Amino acid sequence: MNDFLTFLGNYERPINHGLYYGLAAIGLSLTVRYLKTPDFTTLGSIVLGGVVGTFIFLELASHPIIASIVGCVGGFSVGVLLGIVTHFLKHMVRIPLAYAGILTYFASMSAAYFIAPDGYLELDRRTKTIFTYMTGPESMIVAMAIIVTASWLLHREFKRKNGKLIIAMTSSEAFLKLRHPCPAKTTRLILTICNGLVGLCGALFAIRDSDAPIKGGNEMTFLLVSLGSIYVFEFISSLFLKISDASLDTSENPISILNKPAVNHLIRLVCGKFSSKNDESKGIFVAACGYATCCVLLQLLFTGVSFIAWLPAHFEYAATVAVIVIVLSCGTRFRSKC
Amino acid sequence: MLRNHKGYSVRLDHISFKPPRFLSKPVLNDVSLTIEPGQIVAVIGENGSGKSSILAAIAGELDYWDGDVMIENAHITAQARKLIDGVGIVHQDENADLVPHLSLAANIYIRKLQREFNAKVMRFLDGNEELEKQVRTGLAEHAKWLHEPMETLVGRLSGGERQMLNAAIAIHFENECNPCRLLLLDEHTSKLSSKNSRKVLSYVLEETNKVSCTVVMVTHRLEDVTAFCDRAIIMGEGKIMRDLTRRELVKLNTADLEAMF
């Protein structure tokens, strides 16, 4: 137990970052799953969410708890606003989603520089925030509580009308044209939830670290970790689906323990929970928690490997972009094969 | 063969349609047609002859077209189909009608949402157990072929089961009036074997016969045309080439019919 606490203590920062990225990954996964492409607006949402969250916090700094909460609400609202802008570009100006996202990303960077011309917004180290009162595992528990709440809210919404309409976005172009009651409204809903969560993640990050940098490529790290976790969890999910589909109930199974009804039932139960075997509305909670867990693991991995530390200066951006492109292309191929 | 007149009548007046693409040819060229209530009409012809476009015109799914379409004396515009209760359509590609990532129940729910006909339906599956029970019983009664629970993912059904489900939804669950009064079938059995195709068609005709629903079907299976249809319209180059009555159809075999286009 002590070893575990020591581990948590040593890796508190990457675990916390992983958890916040997990929150953003839940949002990003909605666009990956239901709009078939990651929304690049999120790159701007995480930066602008952080800057606006910090800006609001500085304005209300005399009340740390209220300032932290209002800062987070501000970050979420900025994300929602950016999602609406991307939706406007996509549906009114008819720009493809990927390009609309990139345009909004550039616009949000300009807005961030407008608020913080120096390229960063920093809190005084002595300033108290909501995180000052929580150290070690407590802050992780709060982050986990936020993730579980977000996952539960999504799970609840997915059982209802809007959730069904969001899942229906995975259908063919013909379905969207002929049968979907409101594809434009549903796209807007997905983009606003996605960017709202990412903006909230940006604000939480900035307030926790007392720093909202615009430069430095944090948004690229976010995209890399979040996308990576989405594809890793989908890979695990598809493996579970394959195991679940395998003929576990036949007596011809070479592994004798699998033929025992209780073991068989247990495997099917576990695999069913972690795979998309049933209606997607029932699996969104597990999926959301899975993305968050994968985010923490990937963040820990990147911290251990620190893969860009040995690269020559100024190559970090190029290296991160190259890794994102590789993750994106491998993930897209994997999804199309599935 | 004409049954009790409970189905909808359909009238097409000088329908022309040219896809909005550069240098595209007209797909429908001044087509006029009247379908009596309760008739089972087959639309046949070569690929690209305008069969599916006729169906799309009746369903209000064409974007740019000239002429007038009337269902039960109501004028149809591109957006009007959602307002007409009692019209069901089954597309050639079942993925145009069903969401593979949703369960059977949720697929019915989405189709009902598309119609947007009343607040009761909007609450469907949102904790309204009575309504959910009604739909479950309804589907079990109308679709005896379906042995899967309502929670089954549509993506896990076979092609034949999906086509049957699609037809069952169009006939019984898409509209407030049940069964529907006008059923449009666009090569809905094209991916099925002859045996399964006959099974699906028998199910569809058995259900639509209960209210003498008008059926317009586009098909390449000529044996179904001679066996089941009251009338066959042969299309060619966007025009109606022949209009065969039941009396003429019974005298023909599939080879004779095929020779006509």
Tell me the chain A residues in contact with residue B114 when contact means C-beta distances shorter than 8 Å.
179-181
Which of A159-163, A245-249, B102-106 is least confident?
A245-249
* pTM for this prediction: 0.80
Q: Which residue has the tokens 């009761």?
A: B120
Facing A279 at nearest CB: one of B93, B97, B106: B106
- Whether B58 shows a pLDDT value over 50: the answer reads yes
CA atoms of A9 and A235, how far apart (whole Å): 30
Check CB contact under 8 Å for A172 and B103: no
User: Where is pLDDT greater, at B246 or A273?
Assistant: B246
The domain limits of chain A are 2-337
Q: What is the mean pLDDT of chain B?
A: 77
Burial class (CB in 10 A: 0-12, 13-18, 19+), B148: middle
Q: Which long-range contacts (CB under 8 A, 24 or more apart) does B15-20 make?
A: B15/B54, B15/B57, B15/B65, B15/B66, B15/B67, B15/B68, B15/B69, B16/B65, B16/B66, B16/B67, B17/B50, B17/B53, B17/B57, B17/B62, B17/B64, B17/B65, B17/B66, B17/B238, B18/B64, B19/B64, B20/B63, B20/B64
CA atoms of A230 and A330, how far apart (whole Å): 12
- Whether B26 shows a pLDDT value over 50: the answer reads yes
Check CB contact under 8 Å for B114 and A159: no
Q: Could you report the per-residue pLDDT of B135-158, keeping only the tens digit for each?
A: 555 565 555 555 666 777 888 787
Nearest-neighbour CA in chain B from A282: distance (Å) = 10
Q: Is B83 on the interface with A (CB under 8 A)?
A: no
pLDDT reported for residue A110: 92
pLDDT reported for residue A293: 87
Residues contacting residue A225 through CB under 8 Å, at least 6 positions apart: A18, A21, A25, A295, A298, A299, A302
Band (pLDDT 50/70/90 cuts) for residue A206 is confident
Band (pLDDT 50/70/90 cuts) for residue A41 is very high
Band (pLDDT 50/70/90 cuts) for residue B123 is very low
Nearest-neighbour CA in chain A from B98: distance (Å) = 7
Work out the percent of chain A whose per-residue pLDDT is above 90. 23
Instruction: Report the interhelical angle of A218-245 vs A41-59 (nearest 10°).
Output: 120
Band (pLDDT 50/70/90 cuts) for residue A279 is low
Check CB contact under 8 Å for A179 and B110: yes
DSSP character string of A18-86:
HHHHHHHHHHHHHHHHHSSS--THHHHHHHHHHHHHHHHHHHTTTSHHHHHHHHHHHHHHHHHHHHHHH
Q: Is A179 on the interface with B (CB under 8 A)?
A: yes
Beta bridge partners of B40: B215
Tell me the chain B residues in contact with residue A161 when contact means C-beta distances shorter than 8 Å.
113, 122, 126
- Whether B122 shows a pLDDT value over 50: the answer reads no
- Whether A123 shows a pLDDT value over 60: the answer reads yes
* CATH of region A2-337, choose from 1.10.3470, 1.10.10, 3.40.50, 1.10.1660: 1.10.3470
Report the complex ipTM.
0.74
Check CB contact under 8 Å for B106 and A164: yes
If you count residue pairs, one on A and one on B, with CB atoms under 8 Å apart, how many are there? 72
pLDDT reported for residue A252: 54
A216: left (phi over 0), alpha (psi -120 to 50) or beta: left
DSSP character string of B197-240:
HHHHHHHHHHHHHTTT-EEEEE-S-HHHHHHH-SEEEEEETTEE
